[in-house]
Structure 1
């Protein structure tokens, strides 16, 4: 049994970043140390360094470059000058832009360019907000492939463009966005004219930092990679959120922009230098890219776990929406920013990150069963931040059964910290909720209890707003293992959370980490799907779904006859008996489409005709 009063946490080793005031006699020295430390760590140390000095080595994604879209660029001191220079090629980059076009003479914003009319160019069409991949072969045939997905939403996106000697593909965030078969009739790329390259600008240069096209990129770029091989989708995904060494097979350039200062950047593979234009030398910034030393991933999964021996395990459980992909990455070094959030006395020397593609929310669970770090597990907490360019904040995790749980997440980084010990009068060994037939059974076990009045079982649809479903009396005082159970005979359809609240005789209480269940109703599902107007003469299309069970989830997708989705929305019945979805067809082409409603049990389709 732990004591209720606050106690100082115990460090088992010295690997954590640990700040604590010393005795009164040392107060002055401590104040001076902290002032100097903060100045050196978090204040710009020269005019061109990005905010947040990464002192002693680059952590996580390091730095990125921000381009103004007017005259910023990086000139690469390398050229191509051989006809058929590339039998295959893969280009990758992390991109963050809000460019809408219309403000520049040319609305192409080059990511990396060796003259798309002579070799290749990966660029953003600013008006459309879409990525394009332009290539030219040895017979001077030009092919321009445009992605279907927009990326000008102010979020970081991973772009990959591949030519495998026959076909071209563009991937956005690890998913295929566009492709073309037999793009160059099997020919290699490159006309043989000499062309030097640029990042953030279009090239027509036959000399270093020579003629340009005014194809200025607007936004931020990081981790630009050029390969002279065709990488498969699985290979792209495997390093999407993972740093490279620079020695990977087939890697030609690797610009990770981790210099963070002055006007030169260097490729980490062959040492090719890039000279920043005059104004761009002030464009260094702490990168917000999702990047670690090692990572793991799953696509089209609702739950995924990544564990590292001695470091614990991170589980991402999707609670809202349908994810396109889940990446979990690990950074084996202290973060760039070690400012301590309120309520946290130290931070661990490594951290985790989560990148979930798609409009989703998830619950983050950190299992510290095999944690071998520096902080006493009795006071473990989690801090969080949106990305490596932000400050840490207390995550206020729910704790139980050697787990820390934070619901309603959308994508962030997490670090273990040493919090204040505020201990309630029970030791919870386990808590679980499982579906049995038409019921949900909630079981939990305590190893000791002190002044324990009763337990409250609460249920939630979203992991945020909870309602009481029942109570169970506590044992008062006990030093023995005790097991409890409660049955919910009217569970919610679909996914829901159950959590335990313990209340003392004096009215004080504590919440424990929730358990997630997925309950499928046993009644036969019969939905009615209607689409109006049909045909639509560019009018708003209303899709109505009737017959869903209260709380039931479904997805509405409108697609062309080739299977390309032009609209997607997740819905949930809230007890009204019908759900209506409105689709704006103004940006769609005329033709025949299918509207499909998918539930865990069935799929329902209707054809709709769109006329312009």
Structure 2
């Protein structure tokens, strides 16, 4: 092979390699143990936030509702000083325009798939929808996103395939980072380590599998889950509702599309969002990749506001909370039926008969044997039951707000 041919082949190889821009992970050995950290600023939390990893600040404080953390708390100690130094050094060499990188547009995400590499955006940016990061079968593959201004991620679902790991995904942001979750319940997860020069703010219910690290900015949490571990979230919750049921009850329903090593659901209720009481425990499927449905009936809701949440617990006792569902429950005023047992007639005694919209009587098989609705005039408080066969019946009285009071009666 001639020298010219060798030179041409070498040049071609260099050009081909240039098309694949490799990335180098930022050096943050002291910050790796933190899931939530700021070098200079306060960490404020409202609602129930769960953090798997340490929480800390160098020159700030942690205020608001207590954060449930599996790690340590570092406030103005040597660990926080060292972590802050890591972040300052990373941001000191930051460049969103120089160097060798692949240029991003904004918004980005929106169903795109990216391979390992170094990506740059020279201005503020928006990340939305699904962003798939494909490691190509290499568990050590690295993704670095350099953002030249504020980054706002709305319903951003970062999907990892091809052995890609969240611990090798980095967003270096020359400004603030906002993570907004608009769907209820949360169906998207931000995966990776965010290293920011400014504040970090998470909307209610946002989920992070990674780290939130700010060199100099406040961090605002609102009932979030932050997992700084490879351990997957035990449950992917796709719906959770709480609605008024029959017979003065509240019916809770929820569905999952994926469960990994999940153990159980704890149903919790509160009337103020601060003190929570466990109502029941429902066994989880454990391992599932299909749609699974669950439900629970609160037979004795409190009068007024009832707040509900699910504590989703893994077999190793790690856990996460669902978003909170609120239901306003108003007990019916006095609703009495007499005599009981009845022979010919039942008398309905209520505070205001004009508010009653419907009266139903059903047998023990659930079939309606008496059903009358208010049309123009008030319903009668006297119910003719003399033609009903002897046996047990359920009387349902519905008022003008849709609330239903149910009473069992015996017909002789």
TM over 0.5: no
Report which structure shows greater RCO (CA 8 Å, sep ≥6): 1
Q: Which has the larger radius of gyration?
A: 2
TM-score, normalised on structure 2?
0.33
TM-score normalised by structure 1 residue count: 0.23
